[in-house]
Amino acid sequence: MAVDEPRPNLTHLDASGRPRMVDVGEKPETDRTATASGSIHMAAATLRAVRSHAIAKGDVLAVAQTAAIMAAKRTWELVPMCHPLLLSGIHADFIDDGATMLTLSVTVRTRGRTGVEMEALTAVSVGLLTVYDMCKAIDRGMTIGNVRLDVKEGGQSGTWRRDAAP
């Protein structure tokens, strides 16, 4: 894109198209929440091993939940334009479909000037990668997918829900 061409309204680019971190200093502090989810598909035998704590590396779900929480807290170190945030709560929960899939849902909360969508998405991604890492010795064919924002609340744009999106 040439410098003189009109640019879409991307907040992380300045007028010249150079990257910048958005200044949120003048925005009011509000309660903000985001929930993201994603899934990992695996062989039925792998999921049985996870359930029965038969994975040599340890309790897969407990370690992955811890990894998700740690990732949310460190998102600003991984995603260049994210602000460091004081998170007030992080909840990571696995749902077992009973066959071959685990779904990880993470909700992140803060009171601040910017949202926590990236923290929730990062937490889901790292939590699922941790499951893969812990189980790869018995199942390299696992597939991670469908990582997505489900709900965002707070801030100027208010509430957004995936099930209500056009």
Indicate which residues carry an active-site annotation: 133
DSSP reduced 3-state for 48: helix
- As a residue count, the chain comes to 166
Identify which of 122, 105, 134, 107 has the alpha carbon closest to the alpha carbon of residue 42: 134
DSSP state of 13: B
Task: Write down the residue that tokens 């590396």 correspond to.
Answer: 57
- Helix intervals (H) in 42-144: 44-51, 60-73, 75-78, 117-135
Rg (CA), the chain: 18
Residue partners of 5: CB distance under 8 A and separation at least 6? none
Distances (CA, A) of 106 to 35, 68, 135: 5, 8, 21
